[in-house]
Amino acid sequence: MADARERARKFCERFGLQVPILQAPMAGSCPPGLAIAVAEAGGMGARGVLQDAPAGIADWAEQFRAGSSGAFQLNVWIPDPPAGDPAERERRVEQAREFLGRFGTPGDAEGPVPPVFEEQCEAMLAARPAVISSIMGLFEPDYVRRLHEQGIAWFACATTLEDALAAQEAGADAVVAQGMEAGGHRGAFDQDAAERTDVGLFALLPWFADHLRVPIIAAGGVADGRALAAALALGASAVQVGTALLRCPETKTSKEWSAALDSLAPEATMTTRAYTGRLARAAPTPYLRAWTEPGAPRPAPFPDQMRLVGQWRRGTPDGLDRANLWAGQSAALATEEPAAAVVSRMWREASDLLA
C-alpha cells in the first residue's frame, strides 16, 4: 500500500491539497459554501458551469475565494458535434413533447437555452482556477495551450480507455476515470453509445493504470474510506466524490431529493435520458419509469429534452419530478454530516486501511 499512499501524496503536493479528495463538479448542486467546506477540509472544491453564464462563473469564483484560499476546479460539458438529420431531430422532439403531455400542462415557453460554450470557456480562464475540467469530449488544442500557459491544469473525464488515451494525447494533466456507478451524467465522448460504456469503476481503474502515464482520479460510487482506499490501491491518485456530499447541509439539496437518497439500494438507481436527453444515473421515480414503458418514445436529444422538461416545470406539472434526482449507486452511504466531516472521515478511514 506504500505505492498508493505515495501516489496520493504526490498528487496532493502538485495541486496544493491535504487530502486526495475532490468534490465532483455537479452542475446546479455546487454552491460556494460546499466547495469552501471541502477545500477548507483539505480537498478540492468544484463547480459545474453547464448552466452558468460568464457573470455567474465570475461571481461563484469570487464567493469561493472570499471563503477559502484552497484549490477549486471548474467543469464544462463539451458540445455535441453538428446535428444530423434536422427532420429526424424534430420528429423526436415532437414525440417527446406529446409524451410529456401526460405530465400536466406546459408553460408558455421552453426552458432556458444553455449559455454559449465559447463564452463559458473564456470566463473559466478569467477565473483562474487550479483546474478546468471537461466531460463528454475534449477541448480544442488552442484552448488547452492557453490554459496551460496560465498554469491551469486540465482534467478530462473518460469512461473508456480509448477516450482516456485520447485525452492524455491531447494534453490532459489527469484523467477522471468515471465508473458506471456514478450519479449524474455519463461522461462518454459518444453520447449515442453511452449505454454501452457500462464498466464499473473497479474494473476500469487497473485497466487505466496499466496504460496511462498521467494521474488517474477515481469517480463513481466512492462514498466512504473503504472505497477511497480501494481506489488508491487499484491505481488512482485521488477520488472525486459527488453523491456522498449531496445530503450535506452546505449543498442545500431539497428535502425531496435528500429523502430519495436515504437508504437507496444500489440496484434501485436507474439510468435515464428523461431529464436532459443525455444518459445519467438517478433515483427512480414514476416519471422516469414512465419513459421505460412499452411504447414510450426515446427522450429528445440534449438540450431539447432539458428545455422541454423546463417548460413543463414552468407550467402546471402533474407527476413530473420537480428536480433532477441524480444518485450514484452508493447513495445510501450519503449522510447529513457537514461536508468537512465527510471529507475528514473518508481520509481517516482510508489512511487506517492503507497503513
What is the tens place of the pLDDT at every residue in 317-345? 999 999 999 999 999 999 999 999 999 99
Residue ranges of domains in the chain: 2-354
pLDDT band at 155 (very low <50, low <70, confident <90, very high): very high
pLDDT band at 205 (very low <50, low <70, confident <90, very high): very high
Of the candidates 247, 208, 219, 234, the one whose C-alpha atom is nearest the C-alpha of residue 21 is 219
Judged against a pLDDT cut of 90, whether residue 288 lies above it is answered with yes
Judged against a pLDDT cut of 90, whether residue 72 lies above it is answered with yes
pLDDT band at 38 (very low <50, low <70, confident <90, very high): very high
The distance from CA 182 to its chain's CA centroid, rounded to whole angstroms, is: 8
Cβ atoms < 10 Å from Cβ of 282: 24
Of the candidates 221, 220, 336, 329, the one whose C-alpha atom is nearest the C-alpha of residue 282 is 329
Q: What is the mean pLDDT of residues 149-153?
A: 98
Mean of per-residue pLDDT scores for the chain: 96
Of the candidates 241, 266, 238, 201, the one whose C-alpha atom is nearest the C-alpha of residue 342 is 241
What is the tens place of the pLDDT at every residue in 106-145? 998 777 788 999 999 999 999 999 999 999 999 999 999 9
Q: What is the mean pLDDT of residues 192-196?
A: 91
Cell of 63: 464567493
Residue 101: predicted pLDDT = 96
Helix axes 201-209, 225-233, angle to 10 degrees: 30
Query: How many angstroms separate the CA atoms of 222 and 111, rounded?
Result: 33
Judged against a pLDDT cut of 90, whether residue 22 lies above it is answered with yes
Of the candidates 6, 2, 43, 7, the one whose C-alpha atom is nearest the C-alpha of residue 25 is 43
Residue 253: predicted pLDDT = 96
Q: What is the mean pLDDT of residues 230-249?
A: 98
Q: Please tell me the CATH code under which domain 2-354 is placed.
A: 3.20.20.70
Residue 161: predicted pLDDT = 98
In this structure, is the dihedral angle defined by the CA atoms of residues 167, 169, 175 and 178, taken in order, positive or negative?
positive
Judged against a pLDDT cut of 90, whether residue 217 lies above it is answered with yes
Taking a C-beta distance cutoff of 8 angstroms, is the pair 300, 292 a contact?
no
Q: Where on the phi/psi map is residue 270: left (φ > 0), alpha (ψ -120 to 50), or beta?
A: beta
Residue 81: predicted pLDDT = 81
Query: How many angstroms separate the CA atoms of 284 and 90, rounded?
Result: 28
Residue 296: predicted pLDDT = 97
